[in-house]
Amino acid sequence: MTERRRAQNWFFLGILAVLVMGIPYIILGQDAIFVYHDQLDGEVIAYLLKARHLWDGSGILPEFMNGAAKTALTLPAPACVLLYRWLPAWAALACMQVIGSLTGYVGMFLLIRHVARSEERLSHRQGMMAFVAMAVGCLYAYVPFLPVYGLSQYGLPLLLYCVLRLGEADGNRKIYIAAYSYVIFFGVNSSLVLAGFAVLGIWALWEVITLLRRRFRAGQGIGWLLLLAVYLLENGALLQEIFGGVGAVSHKAEYSLAPVAFWGQLWTNLLQGGQHSVDYHRWILVLAVCFVIVTGIRLGISAGDKKSVTGLEKALFLSCGGILLFAFAAAVWDSGVGVGIRSGLGALKGFQANRVLWLSPCLWYFALGCCLLMVVKYLPDKQETAKSVRKWLAAGEMLLAVGVTLLTAAQVLPESNLKPNVQKMLHADYGAMSFRDYYAVGVLEQVQQYIRDNFAEEPEDYRVVSLGIDPAAALYHGFYCLDGYSNNYDLAYKHRFREIIAPELDKSEYLTEQFDGWGNRCYLYSAECPGYYTVQKGGFYFQNYEINAQSLKELGGRYLLSAAYIDHCEDTGLKLIREDPFETEDSYYRIYLYRVME
């Protein structure tokens, strides 16, 4: 078998390894397990609501927070709204996972193969190169990024590969077409707010440096402009609201910012990464440091040779440098200096520039690939009679690199999105909440039908709030809700909603800080279970729950859906409609229906 054929086999074997993660979703359907924090509770609902109102031309979402503006829910991957238009929500989310992971694998594979092209010694070891690219690509594909963010993280390796190819195209039309097509594809399937701003910023810096070094490539510059144009078209309404003074004042204007210690945060960023960018790279860090030192020693020995620094070594140094830069920038943004600057930015003070850390996982795994390629590069051929020192060094590097790769895999795979679904297939009573559990499928339909049969009211005729069950469940089933999860809604609405939950906020300093200083969760809080938004059916009940029912009625609220019985509900202005709760034999929730008293 030729080296080229062997390389192709490794590539397609990796494709199969990634596609395997889609099998449990097909088998489990709505019983599949997805991370619910910042996914089922928010982003999935954003896709669903935008899909329902995709062509209505209205600027509001009537079901969401009493008719909030569409800018209250910004899609992390706008083009994926079509999946939620065409498919059931669980299937759309599963598709986002498989497509994202597959894109991550292909991108990392091509990127690692690309950086090895300039190494003459590796040109005769294509099979080994492909194996390295396949192994690292699969690891990156299984890193548990949240699929609702589309290609914001998974798509970065392929974007970097396209940028590099645009710099080498030299008029090659096929390369231009393929690269520009992916730039557009990446743009419509990623978020400007979450990762796009960092991509545009780093790419612009790259272009400035190449221009100063007189190595500017017009193809790369056009690619940057193309991505910028896509983001501007997607986020025009949001940007106009922020910078053009159009629309209501965002609740972000009242964000309470708490600075953190710079050095501690820098260390955390380097060792763990940021929110939703944890990639289990600690062992890769050890490997990268060792290889940077060893490579530095090698370059020091051959300092007189101007050609001693190869493209592979440059790639490793640039990756590590980029990681340090991102960690430093994020730490500054969260430190006292950054908070001091942000405090004067109004609604923009809530902008999470520390999301620049979302670019780091791509670089960590690319650095791992570079280290493994160096091992392959310096392995002696059978014909060579290398000195014993060189042989021992190569053997040590190989053992270290292989060990780190296995240790990283031992961390990534158990934490991947595949594991809980395999567990669910093997054990039907596996404890994690499923898609069906979270959205109370089979339960809230009963509630809706009961209201229809007994009060002749359709969902659009009344407004509900939820207690002990995430409002996302009611929104999923088409209820019109006063509560919800949004990172950009009307400040005046926040103040009106606060009147409803004021009795419970007064009981808890923690809840007061959560709502007044942050407020993205515009929920019915309870001091009896602070921080818990889902109450499983069982013995728990609300013993001293209070609500401002008059304010709730004035805002349009008529029903309250509670996941637990509310004792003495009449004292707070609520009436239990039916003694028996709504549930199914295996439902996670038991829903009690309350009506606001006239």
208 with 261, same domain: the answer is: no
- Can you give the pLDDT at residue 5? 80
Helix locations, 170-310, DSSP H = 173-188, 197-212, 218-234, 236-243, 262-271, 282-301
- How far, in Å, CA of 464 to CA of 447, rounded? 11
Strand partners, 574: 596
Q: What is the pLDDT of residue 346?
A: 67
Query: Is residue 375 located within the same domain as residue 226?
Result: no
What whole-number distance in Å separates Cα of residue 150 and Cα of residue 79?
Answer: 9
Q: Reply yes or no on whether the pLDDT at 546 is more than 90.
A: yes
- Give the CA distances from residue 444 to residues 467, 489, 583, in Å, rounded to whole numbers and listed in that order: 13, 26, 8
The pLDDT of residue 385 is above 70: no
Give the pLDDT confidence score for residue 301 in this predicted structure: 60
Q: Which of 158, 184, 149, 155 is nearest to 38 (CA)?
A: 149
| Single pTM value for the model | 0.93
Residue 64 lies in a domain: no
pLDDT score recorded for residue 384: 55
| DSSP states along 246-260 | -SSPBGGGGPPP---
Return the minimum-mean-pLDDT range out of 241-245, 355-359, 440-444. 241-245
Q: Please tell me whether residues 375 and 237 are part of one structural domain.
A: no
**SS3 (DSSP) at 350:** helix
Report the C-alpha gap between 103 and 14 in whole angstroms.
12
pLDDT bracket for residue 170 (50, 70, 90): confident
Stated length of the chain: 598
Residues 6+ apart with CB under 8 A from 597: 549, 570, 573, 574, 575
Judging by beta carbons within 10 Å of its beta carbon (0-12, 13-18, 19+), is residue 567 exposed, middle or buried? exposed
**Two structure tokens written together for 209:** 């440096």
- Are residues 360 and 451 located together in one domain of the fold? no
Q: What are residue 487's phi and psi, to 5 degrees? A: -105, 15
CA distance 195 to 410: 28
Banded pLDDT at 356 (limits 50, 70, 90): very high
Amino acid at 2: T
Q: Domain boundary residue among 196, 229, 247?
A: 247
With respect to residue 270, please indicate whether it lies within any of the assigned structural domains.
yes
Reported as a single tens digit per residue, the pLDDT across 566-583 is 999 998 899 999 999 999
CB-hemisphere CA count at 13 Å for 88? Answer: 12
On whether residue 584 sits in a domain, the answer given is yes
Structure confidence at residue 440 as a pLDDT band (50, 70, 90): very high
Q: Which residue segment(s) compose the domain that 12 sits in?
A: 1-34+74-247
Which residues on neighbouring strands pair with residue 576, listed in sequence order? 594
Domain match, 284 and 182 both: no
- Average pLDDT of the segment spanning 291-311: 69
Identify whether residues 107 and 202 lie together within a single domain: yes
What pLDDT band is residue 505 in, cutting at 50, 70 and 90? very high
The SS3 call for residue 560 is strand
What lies within 8 Å, CB to CB, of 225 at 6+ separation is: none
Element (H, E) at 471: helix 471-476
Using the CB atoms, write b or e for 270-299: b if 16+ within 10 Å. beebbebbebbbbbbbebbebbbebbeeee
86 and 227 housed in the same domain: yes
Which value, to the nearest 10 degrees, does the dihedral of the CA atoms of residues 285, 288, 289, 291 take?
160
pLDDT for residue 14 is more than 90: yes
More confident residue, 539 or 242: 539
Give the H/E segment covering residue 24: helix 23-28
How much is the average pLDDT of 425-447? 91
Of 156-170, 252-266, 291-305, minimum mean pLDDT range: 291-305
Residue type, 293: I
CA separation for the pair 256, 400 (Å, rounded): 46
Question: What distance in Å separates the CA atoms of residue 107 and residue 179, rounded to the nearest whole number?
Answer: 12
Tell whether 508 and 538 lie within a shared domain.
Answer: yes
Considering the domain architecture, whether residues 218 and 280 belong to the same structural domain is answered as no
Are the CB atoms for 507 and 491 separated by under 8 Å?
Answer: no
- Mean pLDDT, rounded, of the chain: 89
Q: Of 230, 247, 264, which one is at a domain's C-terminal end? A: 247
Question: 23-37, 342-356, 527-541 — which is least confidently predicted?
Answer: 342-356
Tokens of 576: 């239990």
| Whether residue 275 is found in the same domain as residue 365 | yes
- 43 within a domain of the structure (yes/no): no
Beta bridge partners of 521: 485
**pLDDT score, position 377:** 81
The Cβ-side half-sphere exposure at 32, using a 13 Å CA radius, reads 24
Please report, in angstroms and rounded to a whole number, the separation of the first and last CA atoms in the chain.
81
Looking at the structure of the chain, the number of domains it has is 3
Domain boundary among 247, 269, 304: 247
CA 425 distance to own-chain centroid? 25
Q: Tell me if 316 is assigned to some domain.
A: yes
At residue 360, does pLDDT exceed 90? yes
Lowest mean pLDDT, pick from 2-16, 99-113, 360-374? 2-16
Looking at residue 190, what is its pLDDT? 95
Q: How many CB atoms lie within 10 A of CB 93?
A: 25
Q: Note whether 13 and 162 are same-domain residues.
A: yes
Q: Is 434 inside any structural domain?
A: no
**Which residue in this structure is represented by tokens 């991102």?**
326
Give percent of the chain with pLDDT exceeding 90: 60
Q: Do 177 and 222 sit in the same domain of this protein?
A: yes
Please compute the mean of the pLDDT values over residues 391-418 and round it to a whole number: 85
pLDDT at 1: 59
User: CA 434 from chain center: how many Å?
Assistant: 19
Is the model's pLDDT at 55 over the cut of 90?
A: no
pLDDT at 497 over 80: yes
pLDDT of 382 > 80? The answer is no
Residue 198: name the closest of 240, 162, 227, 237 by CA.
Answer: 227
